[in-house]
């Protein structure tokens, strides 16, 4: 199996971006929660909840099929390249 540096860098970048996105969403959510308790207005919480639930579901719905196809194709290629386990 050959080593692909570009694929590794892309995976690391997307993983880091996903972690930053989740952490940013948590900070935004707790800031809106604190603002709601301080001011008595709950519009920020509803905005955050809608944003944090709608966009990830939409992104996953759009991207899940190509991701599954890629995983399936790579798994088939990996299992085809493995030796059959013959005793020598």
Q: Establish if 72 belongs to a structural domain.
A: yes
- pLDDT tens by residue, the chain, 88 residues: 566 777 778 778 888 888 888 788 778 778 877 877 888 777 767 777 777 777 777 776 776 777 777 877 887 877 777 666 655 4
Asked whether the beta carbons of 44 and 30 are under 8 A apart, the reply is: no
Q: Establish if 3 belongs to a structural domain.
A: no
pLDDT at 71: 78
Nearest to 55 by CA among 12, 18, 27: 18
Look up residue 2 and give its DSSP letter.
-
Q: What is the 3-state secondary structure (H, E, C) of 33-88?
A: HHHHHHHCCCHHHHHHHHHHHHHHHHHHHHHHHHHHHHHHHHHHHHHHHCCCCCCC
The model's pTM = 0.41
**Domain hosting residue 73, numbered range:** 13-80
Kindly state the tokens that stand for 21: 């996105």
Q: Establish if 7 belongs to a structural domain.
A: no
Q: Establish if 87 belongs to a structural domain.
A: no
Q: Establish if 22 belongs to a structural domain.
A: yes
How many domains would you assign to the chain?
A: 1
């Amino acid at each position: 199996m050959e080593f692909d540096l570009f694929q590794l860098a892309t995976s690391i970048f997307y993983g880091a971006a996903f972690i930053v996105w989740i952490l940013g969403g948590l900070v935004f959510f707790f800031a809106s929660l604190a603002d709601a308790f301080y001011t008595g207005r709950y519009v920020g919480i509803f905005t955050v909840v809608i944003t944090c639930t709608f966009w990830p579901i939409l992104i996953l719905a759009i991207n899940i099929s190509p991701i599954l196809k890629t995983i399936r194709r790579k798994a088939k290629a990996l299992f085809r390249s493995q030796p059959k386990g013959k005793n020598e």
